[in-house]
């Protein structure tokens, strides 16, 4: 139930674009001596083209189907740190799969997410009015991120290494508690956030 088998992730990172999953993930993996994987990269490898091209040529439904398969595969067989695409958590099947995992929600505010993502960068889901669309996506997804999280860490105005250090400590405490080696901290911890980062949708 805690996902401690050798073939399951040590932790699963969720959060909106701009939360820092692509930046914090590799740092966290290094701290925990684990490998890092992103489901967006898995989708691109499977499709043989970038996520933006999949949206444009095949449509969002095709992308979500590939994403669903990538997430299921990663949750079942990647023994490291897995970062999910921002919208992956909206799939009901994925939500069920995440129930047995150590899910870490990297929380960020709207202003920081916009600054990090860069609304001048083409993103399929932000076509039209990027700022308004980003607000809609956050409003729609935030309750889902919060409901799935076992650990929550805020990333606004914080250095990525600081965030990775905090997540590593919390994940390690959870593992120790699950193994009966320590009390662990059941509390979800929050911090603040950080400067411009770069990350997948």
Strand-by-strand arrangement of the 103-107 sheet: 36-38, 81-83, 11-14, 103-107, 151-154
Q: For the chain, how big is the Rg over CA atoms in Å?
A: 16
Q: Which residues contact 55 (CB under 8 A, 6 or more apart)?
A: 63, 124, 125
Of the spans 101-105, 109-113, 196-200, which averages the highest pLDDT?
101-105
Q: Is 185 within the bounds of a domain?
A: no
Half-sphere exposure of 32 (CA within 13 A, CB side): 27
Q: Looking at the predicted structure, is the pLDDT value of residue 7 above 80?
A: no
Alpha carbon distance 167, 90 (integer Å)? 23
63: left (phi over 0), alpha (psi -120 to 50) or beta: alpha
Q: Is 4 within the bounds of a domain?
A: no
Question: Could you give the number of structural domains in the chain?
Answer: 1
Model pLDDT, residue 155: 92
Alpha carbon distance 75, 94 (integer Å)? 9
Here the CATH number for the domain that contains residue 109 is 3.40.50.300
Helices 39-47 and 60-77, axial angle in degrees (round to 10): 120
- Containing structural domain, residue 70: 11-178
Q: Is 19 within the bounds of a domain?
A: yes
Q: Is 196 within the bounds of a domain?
A: no
pLDDT tier for residue 193 given thresholds of 50, 70 and 90? very low
The two tokens of residue 107 are 């929380």
Q: Is 164 within the bounds of a domain?
A: yes
Q: Is 59 within the bounds of a domain?
A: yes
Q: Which residue has the higher pLDDT, 138 or 71?
A: 71
What is this structure's pTM?
0.81
Q: Is 123 within the bounds of a domain?
A: yes
Q: Looking at the predicted structure, is the pLDDT value of residue 121 above 80?
A: no
């Amino acid at each position: 139930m805690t996902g401690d088998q050798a073939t399951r992730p040590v932790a699963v990172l969720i959060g909106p674009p701009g939360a820092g999953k692509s930046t914090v993930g590799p740092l966290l993996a290094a701290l925990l001596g684990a490998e890092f994987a992103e489901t967006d990269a898995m989708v691109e490898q499977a499709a043989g083209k970038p996520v933006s091209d999949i949206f444009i040529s095949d449509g969002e439904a095709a992308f979500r189907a590939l994403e669903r398969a990538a997430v299921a595969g990663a949750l079942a067989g990647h023994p490291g740190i897995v970062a999910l695409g921002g919208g992956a958590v909206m799939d009901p099947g994925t939500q069920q799969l995440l129930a047995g995992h150590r899910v870490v929600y990297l929380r960020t505010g709207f202003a920081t997410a916009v600054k990090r993502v860069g609304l001048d960068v083409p993103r399929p889901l932000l076509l039209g009015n990027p700022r308004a669309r980003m607000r809609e996506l956050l409003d729609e997804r935030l309750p889902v991120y919060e409901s799935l999280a076992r650990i929550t860490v805020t990333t606004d105005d914080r250095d990525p290494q600081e965030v990775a250090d905090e997540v590593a400590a919390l994940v390690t405490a959870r593992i120790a508690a699950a193994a009966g080696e320590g009390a662990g901290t059941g509390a979800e911890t929050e911090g603040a956030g950080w400067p411009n980062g770069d990350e997948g949708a």
